[in-house]
């Protein structure tokens, strides 16, 4: 029987497949379609200290093998997430969930992470220093090794649960930023967030997205994500979560060979709401095809 179990920062998961933040809401919407307990876990919608309405519309633009989004971290704020969203999730998901956190200052990151750290449902804190869709926050921390390390140290000092730093691909040297986070005490690295992209409407001759640019995701970015996971996993000693363009069970295996302990499926959920379920159900067959008895055994196998 195929052994799909992995251990991410001290927490054992039935399989390495998670849904990525921003593509799975707070989980219960998908629970109406299938039993989401089949997932290893999922990272819920990016959460900030205060409620955010997000960016103006239109926020989405389609493109070849992907899409561009500029949602702008729309969320009800951490207090409502804890009082309303997590209790609803508890009715349909019995595993530990990953809390995705964004902020506009180190103090905001610490405040939000500290609140979520106290929630029994939360297994990991995924600290997003990489969002390209907001001004003055997110990616401004993730493009500097010093700033990313500062956020990492501050969050680690205020929390007890594993802290996984989510990094931006929109940088020159991803390895130096990942290593700075490791030195700052990060328990893991999650990468990549979206690339920065845009589309122009030929009829109006104006950008399709109101914010002009947005996060480019989808299967088109998989080779970039794979390359960065490989580079970072080769350079750090902490676990790496591979994100970006994953849409098949074979993508999962490839990402794990590049060094990922677990993976997150993002844009594929927006195209096919059953994507994560289908990938997990296909994994045993693909493991057999490639003579893999245990997924743990292939982590970093290509390095």
Model pLDDT, residue 56:
84
Q: Which of 74, 85, 92 is nearest to 36 (CA)?
A: 92
- How far lies 229's CA from each of 11, 84, 254, in Å? 21, 35, 11
pTM: 0.95
Catalytic residue among 113, 131, 181, 276: 131
Cβ neighbours around 191 below 10 Å, total: 28
Model pLDDT, residue 139:
53
Q: Which of 252, 284, 289 is nearest to 268 (CA)?
A: 252
Helices (H), the chain: 28-31, 78-80, 86-90, 106-117, 139-142, 145-158, 174-183, 222-235, 249-257, 268-271, 275-289
Model pLDDT, residue 136:
46
Cα(76)–Cα(44) distance, rounded to whole angstroms? 13
Cα(267)–Cα(199) distance, rounded to whole angstroms? 17
Cα(18)–Cα(180) distance, rounded to whole angstroms? 25
Model pLDDT, residue 73:
81
Q: Is-catalytic flag, 131? A: yes
Which domains, and CATH codes, for the chain? 6-298 (3.20.20.70)
Model pLDDT, residue 140:
62
| Chain segment 49-74, per-residue pLDDT in tens | 999 987 888 888 999 999 998 887 88
Cα(60)–Cα(194) distance, rounded to whole angstroms? 13
**Six-digit token pair at 36?**
């989401």
Residues in the chain with pLDDT values less than 50: 132-138
């Amino acid at each position: 029987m195929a052994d799909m179990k992995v251990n991410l920062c001290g927490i054992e998961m039935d399989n390495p497949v998670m849904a990525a933040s921003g593509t799975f809401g707070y989980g219960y919407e998908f629970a109406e379609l299938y039993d989401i307990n089949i997932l290893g876990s999922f990272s819920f919608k990016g959460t900030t200290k205060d409620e955010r309405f997000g960016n103006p519309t239109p926020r989405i633009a389609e493109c070849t093998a992907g899409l561009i989004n500029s949602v702008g971290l729309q969320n009800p704020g951490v207090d409502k997430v804890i009082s309303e969203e997590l209790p609803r999730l508890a009715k349909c998901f019995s595993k530990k969930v990953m809390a995705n956190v964004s902020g506009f200052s180190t103090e905001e990151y610490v405040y939000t992470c500290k609140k979520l750290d106290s929630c029994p449902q939360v297994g990991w804190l995924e600290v997003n220093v990489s969002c390209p869709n907001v001004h003055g926050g997110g990616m401004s921390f993730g493009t500097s090794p010093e700033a990313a390390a500062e956020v990492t140290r501050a969050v680690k000092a205020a929390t007890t649960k594993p802290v996984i730093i989510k990094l931006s691909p929109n940088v020159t040297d991803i390895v130096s930023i990942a290593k700075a986070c490791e030195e700052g005490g990060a328990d893991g690295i999650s990468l990549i967030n979206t690339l920065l992209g845009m589309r122009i409407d030929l009829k109006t001759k104006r950008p399709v997205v109101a914010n002009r640019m947005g996060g480019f995701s989808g299967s088109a970015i998989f080779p970039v994500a794979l390359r960065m996971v490989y580079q970072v996993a080769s350079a750090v000693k902490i676990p790496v979560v591979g994100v970006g363009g994953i849409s098949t069970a074979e993508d999962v295996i490839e990402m794990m060979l590049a060094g990922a302990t677990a993976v997150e499926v993002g844009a594929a959920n927006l195209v096919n709401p059953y994507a994560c379920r289908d990938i997990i159900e296909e994994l045993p067959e693909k493991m057999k095809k490639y003579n893999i008895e245990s997924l743990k055994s292939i982590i970093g196998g290509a390095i």
